[in-house]
Structure 1
């Protein structure tokens, strides 16, 4: 029938190619990451200034150990790539006028959009590692040898959770032009409710509940627990991973729902 797109089963090799190669090329096309002049100030400079500010503020206030602020803000660095790369990939497609052509393809939507989070995860992890090195230079903050593996796992899981949430934020780009504004609001809400600089125990119950739902909260808690050696981190990492998978499923369902609505309203070309 006219207007019906036939989708055929794809081989595992084709699925992997769609997931990794298409996701990588979409990031190159939309963000031009081959230009360090745009990449370094955004994903290294901004988190570095934030880390320096809160480390020195925390040292002055002396309410928590300096490592508390260094580790929290280093983990928060992965949120910038995680939130904005998937969100801007959809907003960028719409702005460039390529979104209708993208959605007209018979390619698997889940693989096509989920693959865009891979680069965000890798870049987010790299940004966090750079912030940890910077934190060790600015302070006496040092990762214990026995905590490197669990902290690395916490970084990876946290970056993945933030990227999945970024895809959910980007889904709003099919219906509104304010997806980037929403991403900014989420990024700075994290500073308040996720235990990055403010202990969650001191927050009101409502904000504490929001922090439980937001990405990153349990990943930061796991990294701090691994740093101090105060207990196992597996449970916290599983909770963070579960949130990330839930965000990913919700993002794909939201994309499908809004795609159908946008087709009916003929709003995919609006910028």
Structure 2
């Protein structure tokens, strides 16, 4: 447990030292919030965007780089399992997403006078499930695309359309009907719905169950396809 905690803390420090990750997970959502004039209805979507940027935009390239540099292979013959490193990366991504989300929510409430979340416990559950879900998708990408540059590129190509079509960057009702229909089948959509429901105080379990199911399926797929080298 001590090794895992140390690894997770190290992964988090490395993540927060990356200028691109720091900008897109901390600064960019605040810029969007300012452009929306503090519209509190946009906050749940921006939270989903923050975690998607980490889980699908950053994580695949990081994991692929560990495999490409033989880090995972070397760990396989040490007491620290490669799974510990991957778990530490998952925790670091969730923690970074939480930090960005806290800054965003704090700015929305303190600076723009937005109402506090209607159901904090449901919001926490939705955040955790959404964060883990996008990270498991990131692991699937890293399992399929095994070089660093390719994994980073595919992660971005998957992430950017998804945040727009799932309602994270813009409301889904502002999209044309065909694009909304595509968004219905994207795994980030129930994440946005779960966060929005919790923010408004509505209790809705179905989006949370969809997120949990996606986590299970993506974990199984990633586990079946992933190779340490």
- TM above 0.5: yes
Equivalent position of 1:88 in the other structure: 61
Any idea what the Cα deviations from partners look like across 1:186-211, whole Å, max 9, x if unmatched? 23123311111333244456543543
Cα 1:203/1:89, change in 2 over 3 Å: same
- Secondary structure of the structure 1 residue equivalent to 2:193: helix
**TM-score after normalising by structure 2:** 0.79
**TM-score after normalising by structure 1:** 0.69
Cα 1:86/1:68, change in 2 over 3 Å: same
What is the CA-CA distance between 1:24 and the residue it aligns to? 5.6
Q: Which of 93, 96, 104 is the equivalent residue of 1:123?
A: 96
Equivalent position of 1:149 in the other structure: 121
Any idea what the Cα deviations from partners look like across 1:103-159, whole Å, max 9, x if unmatched? 677998767645542332232223212221122234222214x41111111111111
Equivalent runs, 1:189-204 vs 2, <5 Å: 189-204=161-176
In 2, the alpha carbon distance for the partners of 1:26 and 1:172 equals 24
- Match status 1:220 vs 2:220: no
Equivalent position of 1:4 in the other structure: none
Equivalent position of 1:76 in the other structure: 49
Q: Which of 41, 51, 55 is the equivalent residue of 2:33?
A: 55
- Match status 1:238 vs 2:216: no
Equivalent position of 1:98 in the other structure: 71
C-alpha contact (below 8 Å) 2:64/2:147 kept by paired residues: no
In 1, the alpha carbon distance for the partners of 2:226 and 2:85 equals 12
What is the CA-CA distance between 1:79 and the residue it aligns to? 2.1
Equivalent runs, 1:245-264 vs 2, <5 Å: 245-256=216-227
What is the CA-CA distance between 1:179 and the residue it aligns to? 0.2
Q: CA RMSD in A?
A: 3.4
Q: Which of 18, 33, 36 is the equivalent residue of 2:13?
A: 33
Q: Which of 147, 168, 171 is the equivalent residue of 2:143?
A: 171
Structure with greater Cα Rg: 1
Cα 1:35/1:113, change in 2 over 3 Å: closer
- Secondary structure of the structure 2 residue equivalent to 1:33: helix
- Secondary structure of the structure 2 residue equivalent to 1:121: helix
C-alpha contact (below 8 Å) 1:221/1:236 kept by paired residues: yes
- Secondary structure of the structure 2 residue equivalent to 1:195: coil
In 2, the alpha carbon distance for the partners of 1:108 and 1:206 equals 45
In 2, the alpha carbon distance for the partners of 1:93 and 1:26 equals 15
C-alpha contact (below 8 Å) 2:8/2:92 kept by paired residues: no
Cα 1:254/1:114, change in 2 over 3 Å: farther
Number of residue pairs matched by the alignment: 229
Larger RCO of the pair (alpha carbons < 8 Å, separation 6+) = 2
